[in-house]
Each structure stands twice: as structure tokens, then as C-alpha cells.
Amino acid sequence: MPSSAPVLKPKKAQPVTAPQDEQPINYDINIPYIDVTKENHLRTNYPDYLPTWDKLWFDPLPPFNYEDPALRVQDKSKPNLLTPNVKVTEIQPQIGSVLEGVQLSQLSAAAKDELALLVSERKVVAFPNQDMIEAGPAAQAEFMGYFGKPNYQPVSGTVRDYPGFHIIHRDGNREEISRFLEQRTTTTLWHQDVSYEIQPPGYVMLGLLEGPDVGGDTVFAATDLAYKRLSPTLCSWLDTLRAVHSSTKMINHARLTGGLVRKDSVETAHPLVRVHPVTGQKCLFLNGEFITKIPGLKEPEQRWLLDFLMQHIVSGHDFQARVRWQPKTIVIFDNRSTIHSAIVDYIDDDYGAKLRHIFRLCALGEKPIPVYDQFE
């Protein structure tokens, strides 16, 4: 919960050997860490969703009991959600679905439980043309509150008075993107959202407010299917490992760029393979950004293992789904059984990034379940 502890905006640090006018590259090119310009306010149709940095401080969230709504479903055919007028289109055979004829704002409690089951099964579900986009942040936050406690963002811009919102906003930013691509070969950033939390998100909502006509897709990979593709010999070893997830790098970068920090860094050891509470499947719990250590391995061994597993997931196009955004689309995905990346390909040579404006809400779930009880 928010506290009244004061937050001081730190001065921008400079590396000792760097020129005074040198700017650090962005940690994540998809989001801003400092305030947007007045021109951004003129160009967007959703000024209330432009990122703000109110000086709030969030204490660590204490452990809590979590019951997954999907576990309450008795009829697996999901009659309250998949009514006769609903059209279901699969994105890929084993991951991703598009549901037309459903308005999330109208779902009953039973239908929400069935939605949780569908997301657990299909991992990524897209809902085009949602009136909830226009319903405002209070309605959107209340909807996601049904699926778990909100996560409060430690560094990124949020909606004023609704710190559970994580705002993804790009508009122009030509110099920033040029600096980024001078050092990076791709804009992809494969990750699971806020995996460093003791109880990371289970269900996550993304809502597209505005976006380019072409580009700006989000690609998801199924970590349970990725696990199944590995040899039984390797899997039996991975089942015994833990990984330390930390937000320190992200928070240090925010301070370096003069951004606001609302939380102390969090460092948590999670099983490298987690058991999904709904499907019972084993899932690689891997992150390209937040893992700092695998206890028991030496640094070269750790680097080899993480590089191998990330490359396995990134190159596994046969267990990936690419979501193509349309205005007023909402996507709900399972953060426990997927890893994802935005695709920043909506850039031109003259102006920079075209307008792309998305909000994210995370519902915190269970503490990751290990394969073996002795990890507890």
C-alpha cells in the first residue's frame, strides 16, 4: 500500500569517464522514463493515459493467499464466456486465440472465472473492439482486480491516481531511439513481467489506445511447450535449479536517467521450472532481463545455461504467437506460461517512432510452485 514516505528525485549521475553531455541509452525502448513533451499531449486522443510520475512510495507487498479464479470452473466448456454468438479464432494451434462477440465489461463472475481458465489454457487471448478502452482507468483496474492484487510500478510512468497502470508510450523519440540502436542490434526485450516479485503476476492485461497502422506487434512464446521440447535428461536437472530475479538493474537505470523510483529493489529466488496451478504443466520461468544468478553454478556455467535457454525460446517459432494490434484491442495473457517482447518496427527515418500508446495492468498471483517440495 502507498505510504507517505517522501521520495526525492535523484540527480542524474554521469559515468566518471564519460563526457558531461553523454546520455545513457534507454533500458527499455518501449517506455519513457521521464515526462513526455507538450506535443505528445496534442497528438494523443487519450491524454489521461499519458505517463505521470507522482511521488509515491510503495512498501513491499506482504505474502497473501491466492486462489486462481480458473480453479472454480466446473464446466470446462465455458458456457458463460463462450456463448453461441462468440467467434473463436486460433492464432496458432497451441497458443493464442482471438475472441469476437465478447465485451469484457459485461462479463459475469462466472464468465470471468471461465476467462481465467481460457487464458490458462490458450496463454494469450485477444479481444478486439472493446468498449472497456473507453470506460476509464477505474473500470479497467476494477476488472483486473478480480484476477489478483494489483502490482504498483517501481519506475515507469503511470495513470494519475492509479499506480497499478504501466504506460507504454512512444511518439517520436528519434534521438533516443538512435542512441539505443547504436548499441543494440534489436529492439526486442524478452521477459516475463515483474518476475522479481515474491508473488509475480499471473494474469496481465494490455490495452491498445492508439497504435501505428502497421507494426508494433507483440510476440509471445509458450514456456511450457518450450520445456517439453528439451530432453528428459536436461529437464531433470533444470527441475532442481533456482534463479535469482532482481529489479536492481531497472531501478539503477531509472536513477541514472533522472527518473523517479517508487520502490526499493526486490530480489527473489524462484524455481527455474514452475508448475502451473491450473494446467499442471511445467513451465520454464525465465527472464532475459531480471535474472542475476543461478545458485550453485559458476558464472560461465550460468551464462551458458541462460543463453542456451533464451535462444531456445526466442528461436522457437513453432511455439510462439504474434499478436497484431488493432485500435481498442485488449489482450489478456498468462504471465506464468509465456515470455514476450514488443516489436519496435514502427519507425521512420524522418520523425522516429510513430504513435503507440498501450496500458498494462498486472494481477499478482501465487508464489511460483517448484517441481520439488523441498524448494519451499
Q: Tens digit of pLDDT for each residue in 34-49?
A: 555 555 555 788 999 9
Range in 81-90, 211-220, 293-302, 310-319 with the lowest mean pLDDT = 211-220
Helix %, strand %, coil % for the chain, to 5? 25, 25, 50
Query: What is this structure's pTM?
Result: 0.88
pLDDT of residue 157: 87
Question: Superfamily for 27-56+73-375?
Answer: Clavaminate synthase-like (3.60.130.10)
How sure is the predictor about 16, in pLDDT bands with cuts at 50, 70 and 90?
A: very low
Q: With pLDDT > 70 as the criterion, what percentage of the chain qualifies?
A: 85
pLDDT of residue 28: 57
Instruction: Please calculate the CA angle 361-363-364 and round it to the nearest 5 degrees.
Output: 135
Instruction: Please calculate the CA angle 134-152-322 and round it to the nearest 5 degrees.
Output: 60
Enter the C-alpha cell of residue 2.
502507498
Residue-range domain boundaries for the chain: 27-56+73-375
Phi/psi of residue 245, nearest 5 degrees:
-105, 135
Return mean pLDDT, the chain.
87
Check: CB of residue 375 under 8 Å from CB of residue 295.
no
Find cell 472465472 and name the residue.
113
